[in-house]
């Protein structure tokens, strides 16, 4: 993985040369990627992944790629002659690693100020977009090829919801499955580029030039959220904001279902109970937020802007994309609290999205409903079904355990942020800490107050940002692959 990272790194290096900027930061990263990748390959002749090796591979791949990906950010402030090529907030070790991990985990949280975007070369801004696109592709392959096999937090249910007996055998080998997913992912990205840039050519989106079209296509499909614009999607016209919504939804849809749609098997998505639940959640929360905004006399947005901003920001947070069409820090308390709840939903299993995911919430709600029924009828035997298939009790328990663990870690991170803010003298309220903790651990991106959609995380202390780096990593790879490595039994077995 590290060795092949040199290929996408070459893209911003080439852009730096074309723009007359310094390509050295990218060349250093390419050299490190190739050298470390080749060195690691010498450690073993065995290329087969057992279950123990799979956990280690998932955890260390994200950590290793994020480390190499931080190099361009770290060296971005020094030209080849030792002179400062541009100034910024990301060329310190912690901030560079934060930006890289945020990108690779498709979190979209940044340490950059709004004004800082104008000081960065296009090559570095493109790398921010590319590393998110790579992270979205990576989690797709890991989720479909490994996590369902490792049965992490009920991920094995993806086979039920995709109406496939074994999602790892869409093709005979995982490499072929990866190529299949790669094709879908690239196809969606190219379609987004055509749509976004097409709006520019039609004269209805002057600010959506080719660079912006490519940049936002990369992060819309990856449900990632980085933008080369300091004002995020608020920098673009309403038609652009509407056009991004479908790609956020598609990126957070099970890619196995999308594959079957490309094969003309339209009945399979219709059989997915998770898809209906997910789209229903989007519609419900959008309606609630639009309703709250409509009665907010302080905003007085008008009919179309109220609907657009309500729907856009709900879809952005539910899909964990993290784009913002306006600064929702200025919304009413009720609207902001609904957005806070949206952070915990997530898209479908087998998608680029993060958070707890709709499939787990569907099982939790069905199990709760069943428990209410059996409380009234204790002799009844009522198996839990999803999309018509029975879910075994072990899987239900796995999901309950995962959701509980995620909530416990979230509250623990919240307490840590509050305590550390008091120690460092940072102005972070309880709600601000709750939002930041949810956004970081659920890999959303923007939060509220200090870390709002037009703000950043640089205001948190260095210690808090270091902890956030770890939390983004753990949250992105579904908690278990990291926690397993902490068990002494893992290393003794």
pLDDT band per the 50, 70, 90 thresholds, residue 154: low
**Among candidates 432, 216, 445, 407, which has minimal Cα distance to 318?**
445
C-alpha distances in Å from residue 114, one per residue of 72, 110, 117, 260, 457: 20, 10, 6, 41, 12
Centre a 10 Å sphere on the Cβ of residue 14 and count the other Cβ atoms it contains: 14
Question: Which of 103-117, 133-147, 182-196, 250-264 comes out lowest in average pLDDT?
Answer: 133-147
Write out the H or E segment, with its range, that includes residue 385: strand 385-386
Does residue 91 surpass a pLDDT of 90? no
**pLDDT value of position 430:** 94
Category of 259 on φ-ψ map: left (φ > 0), alpha (ψ -120 to 50) or beta? alpha
Indicate if the pLDDT at residue 153 is higher than 90.
no
Contact criterion met (CB below 8 Å) for 161 and 273: yes
Q: What is the pLDDT of residues 184-222, one digit of tens each?
A: 999 999 999 999 999 999 999 999 999 999 999 999 999
Band of the pLDDT at 86, cuts 50, 70, 90?
A: very low
What is the pLDDT, as a whole number, of residue 477? 87
CA dihedral over 389, 142, 109, 237, signed as positive or negative = negative
User: Has residue 82 got a pLDDT over 50?
Assistant: no
Q: What is the pLDDT of residue 99?
A: 96
CB atoms within 10 A of CB 324: 26
Mean pLDDT of the chain: 89
Contact indicator for 342, 317 with CB cutoff of 8 Å: yes
d(CA 108, CA 251): 15
**Residue 77 confidence (pLDDT):** 46
pLDDT tier for residue 260 given thresholds of 50, 70 and 90: confident
Beta bridge partners of 386: 389
Confidence of residue 493 (pLDDT cuts 50, 70, 90): low
Average pLDDT for 346-353: 91
**Least confident segment among 130-134, 153-157, 188-192:** 153-157
pLDDT of residue 276 exceeding 80, the answer is yes
Task: Provide the pLDDT confidence category of residue 84 given band limits of 50, 70 and 90.
Answer: very low
Buried b (16+ CB within 10 A) or exposed e, 138-154: bbbbbbbbbbbbbebbb
Does pLDDT of 166 surpass 80? no
- Residue found under tokens 């912690």: 94
- Banded model confidence at residue 149, pLDDT cuts 50, 70, 90: low
**pLDDT of 85:** 41
One-character DSSP codes across 232-280 = GGGGS-HHHHHHHHHHHHHHTS-HHHHHHHHTT-THHHHT-HHHHHHHH
Residue 386 sits at φ, ψ, to 5 deg, of -130, 125
Provide the Cα torsion 21, 26, 28, 31; round to 10°: -140
Residue 224, SS3 per DSSP = coil
- In eight-state DSSP terms, residue 146 is I
Q: Model confidence over 233-258: pLDDT tens digits?
A: 999 999 999 999 999 999 999 988 99
What is the C-alpha to C-alpha distance for residues 110 and 229, in angstroms, rounded to an integer? 12
What is the mean pLDDT of the segment spanning 79-83? 34
pLDDT in tens, 456-490: 999 999 999 999 999 999 999 888 888 888 888 88
Instruction: Say which DSSP state 145 is in.
Output: I
What pLDDT, on a 0 to 100 scale, did the predictor assign at position 346? 95
46 CB neighbour count, 10 Å cutoff:
8
Distance (Å, whole) CA 139 – CA 245: 21
Integer Cα distance of 440 and 431 in angstroms? 14
Cβ-contact 327, 339 below 8 angstroms: no
pLDDT at 365 over 50: yes
CA 22, 74, 189, 136: dihedral to nearest 10 degrees? 160
The pLDDT assigned to 160 comes to 47
Strand partners, 389: 386
CA R_g for the chain:
22
- Does the global pTM surpass 0.75? yes
For residue 80, pLDDT over 70 is answered with: no
Determine how many CB atoms are found less than 10 A away from the CB of residue 120.
Answer: 22
Q: How many residues does the chain have?
A: 493
**pLDDT at 280 (0 to 100):** 97
Across the range 77-88, mean pLDDT stands at 39
Q: Helix (H, G, I), strand (E, B), or coil: what is residue 301?
A: coil
For residues 339 and 330, is the Cβ–Cβ distance under 8 A? no
How much of the chain exceeds pLDDT 70, in percent? 90
Dihedral sign for Cα atoms in the order 274, 278, 280, 285: positive
pLDDT score recorded for residue 249: 97
User: What is the pLDDT at residue 320?
Assistant: 96
Question: Which pLDDT score is estimated for 152?
Answer: 57
């Amino acid at each position: 993985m590290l060795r092949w990272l040199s290929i996408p790194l070459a893209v911003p290096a080439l852009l730096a040369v074309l723009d007359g900027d310094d390509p050295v930061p990218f060349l250093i990263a390419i050299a490190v990627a190739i050298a470390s990748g080749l060195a690691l390959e010498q450690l073993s002749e065995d290329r087969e992944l057992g279950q123990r090796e799979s956990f280690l591979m998932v955890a260390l791949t994200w950590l290793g790629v994020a480390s190499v990906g931080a190099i361009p950010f770290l060296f971005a402030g020094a030209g080849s002659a030792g002179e400062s090529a541009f100034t910024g907030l990301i060329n310190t070790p912690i901030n560079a690693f934060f930006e890289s991990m945020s990108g690779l985990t498709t979190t979209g949280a940044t340490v950059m100020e709004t004004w800082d975007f104008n000081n960065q070369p296009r090559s570095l801004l493109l790398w921010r977009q590319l590393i998110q696109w790579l992270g979205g592709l990576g989690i797709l392959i890991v989720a479909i090829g490994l996590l369902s096999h490792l049965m992490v937090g009920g991920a094995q249910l993806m086979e039920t919801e995709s109406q496939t007996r074994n999602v790892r055998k869409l093709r005979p080998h995982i490499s072929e499955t990866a190529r299949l997913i790669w094709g879908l992912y690239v196809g969606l990205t190219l379609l987004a580029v055509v749509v976004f840039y097409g709006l520019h050519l039609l004269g209805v989106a002057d600010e959506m030039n080719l660079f912006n079209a490519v940049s936002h296509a990369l992060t819309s499909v990856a449900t990632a959220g980085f933008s080369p614009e300091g004002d995020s999607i608020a920098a673009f016209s309403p038609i652009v904001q509407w056009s991004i919504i479908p790609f956020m939804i598609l990126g957070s849809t099970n890619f196995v279902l999308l594959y079957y749609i490309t094969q003309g098997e339209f009945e399979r998505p219709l059989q997915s109970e998770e898809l209906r639940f997910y789209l229903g959640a989007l519609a419900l929360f959008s309606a609630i937020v639009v309703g709250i905004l409509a009665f907010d006399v302080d905003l007085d947005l008008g009919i179309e802007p109220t609907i657009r901003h309500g729907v856009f920001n709900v879809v952005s947070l539910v899909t964990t994309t993290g784009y913002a069409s306006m600064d929702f820090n200025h919304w009413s308390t009720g609207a902001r609290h609904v957005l806070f709840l949206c952070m915990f939903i997530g898209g479908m299993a087998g998608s680029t999205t993060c958070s707890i995911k709709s499939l787990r919430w569907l099982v939790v709600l069905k199990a709760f409903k069943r428990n209410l029924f059996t409380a009234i009828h204790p002799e009844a035997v009522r198996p839990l079904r999803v999309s018509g298939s029975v879910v075994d009790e072990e899987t239900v328990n796995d999901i309950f355990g995962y959701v509980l663990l995620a909530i416990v870690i979230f509250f623990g991170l919240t307490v840590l942020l509050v305590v550390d803010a008091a120690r460092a003298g940072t102005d972070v309220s309880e709600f601000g800490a709750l939002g930041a903790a949810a956004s970081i651990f659920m890999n959303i991106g923007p939060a509220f107050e200090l870390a709002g959609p037009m703000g950043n995380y640089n205001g948190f202390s260095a210690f808090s940002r270091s902890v956030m780096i770890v939390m983004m990593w753990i949250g992105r790879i579904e908690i278990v692959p990291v926690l397993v490595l902490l068990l002494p039994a893992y290393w003794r077995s």
